[in-house]
Amino acid sequence: MAIERTLSIIKPDGVAKNVIGKILTRFEDAGLKIVAGRMMKLDESLAGSFYEVHKERPFYKDLVAYMVSGPVFVSVLEGENAVLKNRELMGATDPKEAAPGTIRADFADSIDANTVHGSDSLENAKKEITFFFSDL
Ligand code: ADP
Ligand code: MG
């Protein structure tokens, strides 16, 4: 298996619930290393271009508004199969459908406030990492 890197964002609800440490511990316990990390307050332009792929979706405006509603914690995770491993730890997009024991099942309130973002492919992970950490 290949060593990969993926981008994680702890969304405003995760930061507000004071569970950054608990979420990062899940990554570490699963064998993922946090190789970069930064607390940020996104603005509309940054959040809008990050979620550009969803521009035509009906939830795009709400998604951007939500992502700028409070600070977020952005990090880069590294390890074997990091992209898929992170997606498994996160659980399904809608917390009602997320498997027990996943981050979204345990911490998320709704499909909007679903606690974490994670890259969905190696290709997107590379783009998303460069988007936030131009030196990586
Ligand atoms: P994921 O974050 O699991 O990769 P998507 O990339 O499909 O999910 O969507 C990005 C984000 O947009 C989701 O995390 C969620 O917050 C929001 N979202 C997705 N689908 C919906 C929906 N049907 N209604 C409201 N918000 C949605
Ligand atoms: Mg996605």
Q: What is the pLDDT of residue 1?
A: 72
Closest by CA to 136, choosing from 80, 65, 78, is: 78
Contact, 34 vs 24, CB < 8 A? yes
**Mapping DSSP to helix (H, G, I), strand (E, B) and coil, where does residue 99 land?**
coil
Nearest CA to ligand 1 atom 23: 59
In this prediction, residue 60 has a pLDDT band, given cuts at 50, 70 and 90, of very high
Q: Which atom of ligand 1 is nearest to the CA of 112?
A: 16
Residue of 5, 87, 104, 117 marked active site: 117
- Which residues form the pocket of ligand 1, taking CB atoms under 6 Å from any ligand atom? 54, 59, 63, 93, 111-112, 114, 117, 120
80-98 pLDDT tens trace:
999 999 999 999 999 999 9
What percent of the chain is modeled with pLDDT above 90? 99
Cβ-based neighbours of 42, under 8 Å, separated by 6 or more = 50, 67, 68, 72
State the chain's mean pLDDT as an integer. Answer: 98
pTM of this prediction exceeds 0.85? yes
Q: What is the pLDDT of residue 102?
A: 98
18-29 pLDDT tens trace:
999 999 999 999
29 alpha carbon – ligand 2 mean position (Å): 23
Nearest CA to ligand 1 atom 2: 117
**Counting beta carbons within 10 angstroms of the beta carbon of residue 122, is it exposed (0 to 12), middle (13 to 18) or buried (19 or more)?**
middle
In this prediction, residue 39 has a pLDDT band, given cuts at 50, 70 and 90, of very high
Sign (positive or negative) of CA dihedral 14, 17, 21, 26: negative
